[in-house]
Amino acid sequence: MKTWIQNGHVLDPLTGTDQIYDVLVDGKDIKKLGTREEIAKILKKEENVQVLDASGCYVMPGFIDLHVHFRDPGLEYKETLKTGGEAAARGGVTTVCAMPNTKPVIDTKEKVEEVHRRAKEESPVHVIQLGAITVGEEGKELADIKGMAEAGCIALSEDGKSVMNSALYREGMKIAKKYGLRIFAHCEEIDLRRDPDTGEDGVMNKCEKSEELGLPGITNSVEDIITARDIFLAKDTGVHLHLCHCSTKGTVDLMRMAKEEGVSVSAEVCPHHFILSTDDITEDHGRFKMNPPLREMKDVEALRQGIKEGVMEVISTDHAPHSAEEKDAPMRKAAFGIVGLETSASLTYTELVEGGVLTPMQMAERMSFAPARILGLENKGSVSEGKTADLVVFDPSREYEIDTDTFLSKGKNTPFDGWKVKGDVKYTLVDGKLVYKNKAYEEQE
C-alpha cells in the first residue's frame, strides 16, 4: 500500500529539511520526498494510492513519548495497551516507552516479551516496554536485567520511586551499561517527601499556596538530591542516564553541570510542568495532584529556558491515567497523576511555539528526533527517504477546546480540560499505516 501526503511543510531535524514537499510512503518506509510532478512520475496510473491532504500542515516525524503508563497488565480499569495506544495515535505519538510499575511489575524477560507480543496485536502504535531495576520495584535485589535486554526493553526504570540503596543501584547501572540499556530515573528522596513542618506525606509543592490550602508540601530538594546522586552514579558507571519528568530549577542547573562534565545524560520535561505552576492550583482537588508536583513560577521559567537551550532536550508526558473515583477527591486522598498523550502536541505548540520559546523544527526535535536518538532508534525521528514512515501531519492553525469527554484514553484526569489551544493532529501514520484521522476535518473533505 502506498500513501501520498500532498503539499505538506516537511520538518526534518535530521536533515534540516524545512520546506513544502510531497511525501510518498511505500509500505513501511518513506520512499520519496519531492514535488508533485516528481512523485507522480514514480507511480503507475493503475496503482491504488491513498492520498492525504497536508495543505497548511507540518509533516513531522511521529512523536516518541519516553514516559507513559499504560497500566497493562493488572490495572486495565485505568488503561490498556489498546486504549493507551489509541490515545497516543490521536496525539501524533507513534512510539511510547511504557513504565514497568504494573501489576505484576515488569521485571523479567518473559514479562517484557509478553507485553511486546500483546502490544503488536492490540496497540496501533509501537510500545517499548521498560523493565524494572529491582525485583518487584522493592529495591532489595536486582531484576533480570540481562533477560530483559534480550527481550528488547532498551531501558530500565524504577518509575514511581527511586532505588534508595545507592550501592545496589550502581551495580544495576553497571549491568545495564554492559547490555546496552539506558536508565530512566524517577528522582525522589522518599525519606524527605514528608512535609518538613508537619511530618505528613506531601501532596503538592511546599510553598505559600500549600500553606494557604492547608496541605502538606513536597520541597524541591526531594527531587534535586536524587538527581545529583544519579548523575554522579552515571558518571561512575558510564551508563546513559535519562531524567524523567523534571520539575525544578535545581534539576536544570544540575543538567548543565552534568553536560559540562561530559556525563551521558538527558532529561525530559512534561507540558504540565512547563506550563502550570502552583499559582494555577485553584482548589484542593485531585486534578492538581501529580508527582513530581506543580512547582513555583521560577521553576517553570527555568524549565522553559532549559527546553529552549536544549539542556532539557525531550518533551514527554508521564501519561498516568486513573479512574474518576481515584482523582475526584481532595489531594490527601486522590492518586498522583495526569494524562497527557492527547494534549501534549497542542499544548507544546500553543505554549512554546506560539509563545516564542521553540521553533516548529525544535518542537519536532524535542518530541521526536531527540527521543529517537536517546533510544538508539536510527530509523525513526526523521522525515527522510529510507526511514520508517512513522509520521504526524500537524495542523498549526486549528483552534479547539480540550474536552476530556472526547478522550480516547480511559483516563480523563487533567487540569487542562476546557483550555483553548492552537494546533492539532490531522493524521498519524505508523509503519506507513494510517492509524488516526481527525474527525474534525471530515466535513471539509
Q: Which amino acids are annotated catalytic?
A: 318
Q: Is 438 marked as a binding-site residue?
A: no
Cβ atoms within 10 Å of 90's Cβ, excluding its own: 24
As a dihedral over the C-alpha atoms of residue 104, residue 151, residue 96, residue 299, rounded to 10 degrees, the angle is 70
At position 436, the amino acid (one-letter code) is Y
Residue 328 DSSP code: S
Question: For residues 13 and 341, what is the distance between their CA atoms, to the nearest angstrom?
Answer: 22
Q: Is 186 marked as a binding-site residue?
A: yes
Q: Is 318 marked as a binding-site residue?
A: yes
Q: Is 67 marked as a binding-site residue?
A: yes
Q: Is 144 marked as a binding-site residue?
A: no
Q: Is 71 marked as a binding-site residue?
A: yes
- DSSP of 7-66, one letter per residue? EEEEEETTTTEEEEEEEEEETTEEEEEE-HHHHHHHS-TT--EEEEE-TT-EEEEPEEEE
Element (H, E) at 428: strand 420-430
Q: Is 240 marked as a binding-site residue?
A: no
Cα–Cα nearest to 318, from 159, 206, 164, 430: 159
Q: Is 245 marked as a binding-site residue?
A: yes
Cα–Cα nearest to 181, from 162, 159, 156, 163: 156
Longest dimension (CA), the chain: 75
Cell 502552583 belongs to which residue?
278
161, three cell numbers:
520511586
Element (H, E) at 182: strand 182-185
In sequence order, the β-bridge partners of residue 201 are 194
Annotated binding site for Zn(2+): 67, 69, 159, 186, 245, 318
Binding residues for substrate: 69-71, 101, 291, 322, 336-337
Residue ranges for the binding site?
A: 67, 69-71, 101, 159, 186, 245, 291, 318, 322, 336-337
